[in-house]
Amino acid sequence: MGTIINGREKAKETREEIKNFVADRIKASKRVPSLATVLIGEDGGSISYMNNQTKLCNELGLIPKNIKLKEDVLESEVIKLIHQLNEDYSIDGIIIQLPLPKHLNEKNITSAISHKKDVDCLTDINMGKLYKGEQSFIPCTPQSILHLIKSTGINISGKNAVIIGRSNIVGKPTAQLLLNENATVTVCHSKTVNLKEICSNADILVAAIGRPGFVTREFIKEGSVIIDVGTSMVEGKIAGDVNFEEAMEKAAFVTPVPGGVGAMTTTMLMKNTCEAMMRNAY
């Protein structure tokens, strides 16, 4: 029987570190970190995520600045706003809630964010730095994945890591982070041949495809680490990409859904915001 990797508990540990960091700055009469969130339109998921960010900012002592724009806002107006936030020294991090309304070009808008305030690592500069192994902000979900893998105590170096999913947001940056830790990484996708066989040899398996219950016992190596990034709605409940019960029978460590990777992600956004303030020294 495997061990559950409790994302909520791991997030709580990181949050305590952030709380202490902010408290020390307050004691020293120094400015505390601030995060600007731009929401365009009325997407329910984005509103929920922004509300969670605000709640966590308040809990940890960061200052939230929420900006809501109408669904039909012009792209030029959004970019103008982002440039203003770039120049605002009271703002340390900027995040644009995705997805955007269809008439807006996501790349144009995210590229307008200063790489110094790009705490979700959406700009080409930060992504390029990540792949070159230079100091950059690490995307929040991949950072959470790596943090949870490390929390098991395993030595990642030399391990065979397999990622199912090649998205720019999760799959590719997670592969790079694991490469940076000296794992041997295979990225699988919809065109991969012999997927089960490849996955069944993985010491570390990361599932990020949005297909509930897709990863069954046949995909899993005995004693492996299974990280489930899936968040699909099934009969009104959130379900992961991994069959949790079957994974627990074979793997050494498994993240649950909910309570795994997702529980860490917003915390990592706060951590990046604190790092942005320290790097920029405003």
DSSP symbols for 29-78: T-PPPEEEEEEES--HHHHHHHHHHHHHHHHHTPEEEEEEE-TT--HHHH
- For residue 86, is it within any domain? yes
Q: What is the pTM of this model?
A: 0.92
pLDDT, position 145: 98
8 Å CB contact between 204 and 178: yes
User: Which residues are annotated as part of the binding site?
Assistant: 165-167, 231
- For residue 164, is it within any domain? yes
Both tokens assigned to 195: 């997927």
pLDDT, position 282: 55
Asked if 102 and 151 sit in the same domain, the reply is no
- For residue 125, is it within any domain? no
Sign of the torsion angle spanned by Cα atoms 220, 223, 227, 230: positive
8 Å CB contact between 178 and 156: yes
- pLDDT tens, 36-91? 999 999 888 888 889 999 999 999 999 999 999 999 999 999 999 999 999 999 99
Give how far Cα 281 sits from Cα of 96, 157, 204, 232, Å. 23, 34, 38, 40
Residue from 224, 217, 281 nearest 255 by CA: 224
- pLDDT tens, 106-132? 999 999 999 999 999 999 999 999 999
- For residue 162, is it within any domain? yes
Q: How would DSSP label each residue in 159-192? A: -EEEEE---TTTHHHHHHHHHHTT-EEEEE-TT-
Asked if 47 and 152 sit in the same domain, the reply is no
pLDDT, position 43: 85
- For residue 226, is it within any domain? yes
8 Å CB contact between 44 and 99: no
- For residue 46, is it within any domain? yes
pLDDT, position 237: 87
Give how far Cα 142 sits from Cα of 9, 87, 90, 112, Å. 18, 28, 27, 23
Helices within the chain (DSSP H only): 7-27, 44-60, 75-87, 106-111, 124-132, 140-151, 171-180, 195-199, 244-250, 261-280
- For residue 20, is it within any domain? no
Domain of residue 221: give its range: 140-262
Asked if 231 and 169 sit in the same domain, the reply is yes
Amino acid occupying residue 32: V
Asked if 207 and 153 sit in the same domain, the reply is yes
Query: How far, in Å, CA of 7 to CA of 206, rounded?
Result: 15
Asked if 257 and 196 sit in the same domain, the reply is yes
Asked if 147 and 110 sit in the same domain, the reply is no
User: Which residues are annotated as part of the binding site for NADP(+)?
Assistant: 165-167, 231
Q: List, for the chain, all residue ranges whose pLDDT scores fall below the cut of 70.
A: 281-282
CATH number at residue 249: 3.40.50.720
The domain tally of the chain equals 2
Asked if 92 and 153 sit in the same domain, the reply is no
